[in-house]
Amino acid sequence: MQSFRTEIEDPIVQKDIIDLERKIALFRDGKIDDERFRSLRLARGVYGQRQEGVQMIRIKLPFGKVTSEQLHRICKVSDEYSTGRLHITTRQDIQIHYVSLDRTPELWAELEKDDVTLREACGNTVRNITASETAGIDAEEPFDVSPYAHALFQFFLRNPVCQEMGRKFKMSFSSSDKDTALSYLHDLGFIPKVVNGERGFKVMLGGGLGSQPSHAELLSEFIPVNQIIPTTEGVLRIFDRYGERAKRLKARLKFLIKDLGRDEFLRLVEEEKKALSYQTVEIDTTAFDGAIPTSILEVPKVVIEDTVAFEAWKKSNVFAQKQAGYVAIGIKVLLGDFYTDKARLLADLVKNYAANELRFSLRQNIVIRHIKEEDLPFFYQELAKLDFVTLGYNTIGDITACPGTDTCNLGIASSTGIADELERVLKTEYPQYSNNQEIAIKISGCMNACGQHNMAEIGFQGMSINAGKLVAPALQVLLGGGNLGNGEGRFSDKVIKIPSRRGPDALRYILNDFEANANGLSFLNYYDAKGEKYFYEFLKPLADVTNLTEADFVDWGNADNYVKAVGVGECAGVVIDLVATLIFEAKDKLTFAQEAFEDKKWSDAIYLAYAGFVNGAKALLLAENEKTNHHAGIIDLFDTVFIESKKIELDSPFKDLVYQIKADEPSEAFAQKYIQDAITFFGKIEAYRAKDLANA
């Protein structure tokens, strides 16, 4: 199992993987408690799943971009360590399931051979940065946002500022004002703009879905491109310092902004400017500005026999690029699941005959880019062999669904089972909707909205419903959500809860009424004209639980009667703070700070020392049965409990000592002083702790 160590060229990556292996061994030996270990593995893309003893591995693919070599590497890993199934998520990641925990370091090492990482794909970190899958080819884009998404990914990967926040942090880059990356429901959402010839972004702040969806607020109408990394770092620093840590359901950025108010939050961000690692960051775009590469092999000429099917496919799944003469192909992937046998052939196809690049989409699909129009017959022929020419890319029949009760601990009802059935209903009963891109259907297995159900025109959320002494799987029907463009969107209304087995009938009722009564209105205008109560009334008969049959107690895609079983969620698990663990971690932070200083990374060294201050202070507060819910509270309370009471003697208030971080620029001299201050402080708290234990 150790051989992978010598195969990783990047020493930082090698250290990371070895650390995971070491922590797994400590966990197996009972030297790290389960909750603390969970936090560590989540930040390395290792996520517990519903089935005991195996893990889901999330592979982080910035803005969904993947090369042939990377896809082959992912396939190799999936076949060797998993089951050969690849799952595309709504954040453009790839997930593989049923992986042994003990083999995750080897798996990670294999992926890194082609520059693919697991780092910070889960946990309380900056998650995968998403972008419109059409970025770089969108005819309406002011410029390609891909290099800017990539730059943010690189800058914040392993960045000390965002390793142990109170909750996850999500960012997106849309290619144009259509806002197809949904900026309004992200912690930070970027929409490209050109003002007076200068590139920049409209930036949205503090959006989110979950059980309490929140529309992002405007941070700025225009931030120049060289300011997006400093702006993001400032936001992350304030979120890390003031964000809720005790109450998980209130720990997202949207709640902090609501509590502080937008103006006060932005004042704190502005106050942080002096401490930032860089005041401006120029982003290199040259890697994305080159000419479209020619294919390795000459594309064969092909004559299509079924021209009707070919033309239907072109109309449904092919769209023009901004580059003259080139088109992109959308592959509709049922529920985001595809398998390594076909993935390998697809990887070979784009390497040999296209530009060696795929993009995974927010709707769990695949886009092949840079195809010459005259080569479409060949690609249609080859994709048909892989069963990748199903019509309906990005249409109503292209349903988004999370894994739900298939593998997720939090799943309440089946997402994939009902999605399968709804797609069948649309295909067989509503062929007139085959190219409808106005209505999106999205399904989540619980309130956490991984399937984005509460921002769709038609959404379903997995629930349960009581029917006497029995419990049946149920669906909350939501209507009226949608993306309006340029940072504006709307969330859907919770209309009615029905047994899951009646989900297809609910869809039939809605579409039938729309056809009969919309009179040319768009779906959202029709919904607004009729109002929520109107839909509730005609769906109400489906909510009656007095007439349930035996079949109603079996969820979609299952053979056995429904049992509501919800495990512990791991999307960003809260860490149990044990005094000894925190002191140990504070020591680690100071060691890492010194290593960063030796590498001349002044800003990283300073922030790691800051984390050492906070962890050490928190440890002593917990030992006194004092609790706080954010970093700023820890700093204030430490002064009250230990400094003002003279239990610990410092030359200044603790607050002044720690908050040097925002008063001084990240220079070599300040980094050296700040680390020494932290080491001195830590010596005092260790002495106090030793004395306290001796007197216990």
Give bridge partners of residue 190 from the DSSP assignment.
Answer: 173, 203
How do residues 262-272 score in pLDDT, each as one tens digit? 999 999 999 99
Q: What percent of the chain is modeled with pLDDT above 90?
A: 75
Length reported for the chain: 696
Q: Which amino acid is at 374?
A: E
Nearest to 70 by CA among 335, 344, 353, 295: 344
pLDDT band at 15 (very low <50, low <70, confident <90, very high): confident
pTM of the model: 0.91
pLDDT at residue 9 in the model = 67
Domains of the chain, with CATH numbers? 3-112 (3.90.480.20), 130-287 (3.30.413.10), 292-385 (3.90.480.20), 400-553 (3.30.413.10), 579-694 (1.20.120.330)
Predicted pLDDT at 113: 93
Question: If DSSP codes are grouped into helix, strand and coil, which group holds residue 117?
Answer: strand
Interval 490-521: pLDDT, tens: 999 999 999 999 999 999 999 999 999 999 99
Predicted pLDDT of residue 213? 92
Mean pLDDT confidence for 118-124: 91
Residue 502: its pLDDT value, please? 95
Helix orientation angle between 503-517 and 416-429, rounded to the nearest 10 degrees: 40
* pLDDT value of residue 458: 97
How far is the C-alpha of 513 from the C-alpha of 507, rounded, in Å?
10
The whole-chain average pLDDT of the chain stands at 91
Evaluate whether 34 touches 68 at the Cβ level (below 8 Å): no
- In this prediction, residue 52 carries a pLDDT of 75
Residue type, 549: T
Contact 317, 391 (CB under 8 A): yes
- Cα separation, 535 vs 547, in Å, equals 21
Q: Is the pLDDT of residue 19 over 60?
A: yes
Tens of pLDDT, residues 591-610: 999 999 999 999 999 999 99
Q: Given a cut of 70, is residue 576 above it in pLDDT?
A: no
Q: pLDDT for 328-359, tens place per residue? A: 999 999 999 999 999 999 999 999 999 999 99
pLDDT category of residue 461 using cuts at 50, 70 and 90? very high
What digits encode the pLDDT tens for the residues 614-645?
Answer: 999 999 998 888 988 899 999 999 999 999 99
